[in-house]
Amino acid sequence: MSYKIVLPFLILLLALASISWSADSKNIAVEEAKRNIAEGKYGLVLDVRTPEEFRGDLGHIQGSRLLPIQELEGRLGEIAEYKEKNILVYCASGGRSSRATSLLAEKGFSRVENMMGGMKEWNKKGYPVER
């Protein structure tokens, strides 16, 4: 096989790999998130639900900061100091926090984790909440 054929494919593979490695974001289980919170791993624990949900039946994680996903992109300046710090993002079940995690990674936040299952899973495990 000629290098003229293989080289473009190698360049494409390297380009794709660099995109996926550009930001350290991942999904983590509720148990890992709780352990990391207890160990003080996060500079910011970010709730991306609505204010009503934050105060509602599912409650919120103690010490978390509310920044609804609908407002997140326009308010990134408020959390810019956490760009290089560990951030945990959560919502009710993991969908909105997954989108928020991707947005934060795209905007240069380098260490972002999405809590899978969100507050529904947190409550199912019986972990403490504030209301």
Catalytic residue list: 91
Q: How far apart are the first and last CA of the chain?
A: 64
Q: What is the DSSP letter of 43?
A: S
Burial 24-56 (b: 16+ CB within 10 A, else e): ebeebebeebbebbeeebbebbbbbbbeebbee
d(CA 128, CA 34): 10
Q: Which helix (H) or strand (E) holds 121?
A: helix 118-124
Query: How many Cβ atoms sit within 10 Å of the Cβ of residue 118?
Result: 26
Q: Are 89 and 97 in contact (CB under 8 A)?
A: yes
